[in-house]
Amino acid sequence: MTAPAGHDPRADGRTVALALIQAARSEGRTLLNEVEAKTLLSAYGVATVPTRLAAGIEDIAALCAELAPPYAVKIVSPQIVHKSDVGGVVLDLATAEAAITAATEMRARIAKILPEATITGFAVGTMIPPGRAHELIVGLSQDATFGPVLMVGAGGKAVEVLRDRALGLPPLDSERARAMISKTRISRLLAGYRDEPPADIEGVVGVVEALSAIAVDLPDVVELDINPLRVDADSVLALDARVVITQEPSPPSGLVIQPALREQRAQSISDPAAEEAAPHPACRA
């Protein structure tokens, strides 16, 4: 169905995002759960894996009935950032019964490892097979002096080890987003090599543009990480996401850096020495 004339999908996305942020604040949270984070991204046009939030283990069977197997189950806790490090991710579960067992064992395991962690539920989603895909990270963080900074690079569990990333300042159009991606080492793999077909680079460009829009529209978002962003020849899909917001609403200050200064800053923060001095939060060990 065609959108009405004058309709602004980005305004709709901002409305959805602000409602999510307000709901989290009303519960005293500054960290959106995985389902909320993916809903925010979807509102800005980023494709995400179908995921549901189970408040308890008793909800998992009904949620699995809404999803296609195999399933993935992940712990939801404001104290746990790297879920796989503590056994908080179980993949390739063929049945709802297997998902329930995985969640039960996960809860017991984490209670022993991190007794101080508050478990607020489980993210239950469809597992996407790895296939011949690349894993990227795309992120947004707030710099005290220069405001929002965008990041893209090689993602996955080894993101801190690979340290392959490029930084840029919003607002970004497709040309500048494409140039930013080209500064990464993984961009050479995305271009295709030997028997590997080229990946959907334009899809990655679209995700970077979406985060640029979020940076402009939502000053309340202080950190946003998509890791991994699964990229193959035909699609770009956010498999996991993390969003941190301010405790109090931030004024809509807009972007204070003029274009010429943005370009100068973009060059300086692309310097490896500068990146070492101020890494993106998602890349800190």
pLDDT in the model for residue 163:
85
d(CA 136, CA 189): 11
Q: Is residue 226 part of a domain?
A: yes
Q: Is residue 273 part of a domain?
A: yes
For residue 205 the two structure tokens come to 């460009």
- Residue 162 structural domain: 134-280
> How many domains does the structure of the chain reveal?
2
Paired sense of beta strands 147-154 and 134-143, if any: antiparallel
pLDDT in the model for residue 93:
98
Q: Is residue 27 part of a domain?
A: no
Alpha helices by DSSP H, listed for the chain, are 9-26, 34-43, 60-64, 96-113, 159-162, 174-182, 186-190, 201-217, 259-269, 272-277
pLDDT in the model for residue 6:
62
d(CA 8, CA 5): 9
Mean pLDDT, 10 residues at a time, the chain of 285 residues = 65 95 94 96 97 97 97 94 91 98 97 94 93 93 91 87 90 96 95 90 98 96 96 95 93 57 50 46 46
- Same domain for 87 and 152, yes or no, is no
Task: From 127, 152, 186, give the residue that closes a domain.
Answer: 127
**Looking at residue 193, which CATH number applies to its domain?**
3.30.470.20
pTM of the full structure: 0.84
- Same domain for 190 and 156, yes or no, is yes
Q: Is residue 9 part of a domain?
A: no
Radius of gyration over alpha carbons of the chain, in Å?
Answer: 19
- Same domain for 270 and 144, yes or no, is yes
pLDDT in the model for residue 281:
54
- Same domain for 141 and 268, yes or no, is yes
Task: From 88, 105, 127, give the residue that closes a domain.
Answer: 127
pLDDT in the model for residue 3:
57
Q: Is residue 211 part of a domain?
A: yes
pLDDT in the model for residue 156:
86
Q: Is residue 255 part of a domain?
A: yes
Q: Is residue 258 part of a domain?
A: yes
- Same domain for 158 and 121, yes or no, is no
- Same domain for 231 and 192, yes or no, is yes
Task: From 85, 112, 127, give the residue that closes a domain.
Answer: 127
* Phi then psi dihedrals of residue 195, to 5 deg: -95, 10
- Same domain for 143 and 254, yes or no, is yes
